[in-house]
Amino acid sequence: MNPAAGGEGATPARLRKRPTWLINRAHGVSYKLLSEGFGAVGTHGYHYRLLAALAEFGPCSQADLARSTGVDGSDVVAALNELAEQRLVKRAPDAADRRRNTISITAAGRRRLTALDDVLDGIQDRLLAPLSAAERQQLVVLLDRVLQHHES
């Protein structure tokens, strides 16, 4: 790369201010921070997502968990197996359909989720360190609006 053009690794001007480019780059940073932060406490983002959904929505099927969290169905099964081994969730036969299980969060799972909330708060602080509290709030509102538009 030509050093006069910004040095090695410089981003072309055409990309620097494109929201799609910036969102993609921010996703990479966010993913790295999440992996490191959750990895440091021996868990994964999937675990957090599943526990959060169960805590908020109550007992549900594995398929419903996959839909509400955006986690692929096969990954839900593996993550639930890990959470069940740690006694953070429990499976019980669904009364309406014995072929499927209903998953619920345990008291230990709720405690773990609260601890993971603190970990996630720290990750958010690292990611958004250069922004003020008001800017962080504004970013969330704007990103949510973009997503709502494309998901509806």
pLDDT at 119: 97
CA–CA dist 85, 47 (Å, integer) = 12
Pairing of strands 101-105, 60-61: antiparallel
pLDDT in tens, the chain (152 residues): 554 555 557 889 999 999 999 999 999 999 999 999 999 999 999 999 999 999 999 999 999 999 999 999 999 999 999 999 999 999 999 888 888 889 999 999 999 999 999 999 999 999 999 999 999 999 999 999 999 999 98
CATH code, domain with 76: 1.10.10.10
Enclosing domain of residue 145: 42-151
CA–CA dist 31, 7 (Å, integer) = 26
Instruction: Say how many CA atoms lie within 13 Å of 142 toward its Cβ.
Output: 8
> Domain for residue 126, yes or no?
yes
Cite the DSSP H helix spans in the chain: 13-16, 19-40, 45-57, 62-69, 73-85, 107-127, 133-151
> Domain for residue 99, yes or no?
yes
> Domain for residue 85, yes or no?
yes
* CB-based contact 44:36 (threshold 8 Å): no
pLDDT at 5: 52
> Domain for residue 59, yes or no?
yes
Place of tokens 């055409």: 14
pTM: 0.86
Q: CA separation (Å) from 49 to 11, 96, 107, 148? A: 33, 26, 17, 19
Tally of domains within the chain: 1
CA–CA dist 101, 62 (Å, integer) = 7
> Domain for residue 20, yes or no?
no
> Domain for residue 10, yes or no?
no
> Domain for residue 81, yes or no?
yes
Phi and psi based region of residue 58 (left: phi greater than 0; alpha: psi -120 to 50; beta: remaining): left
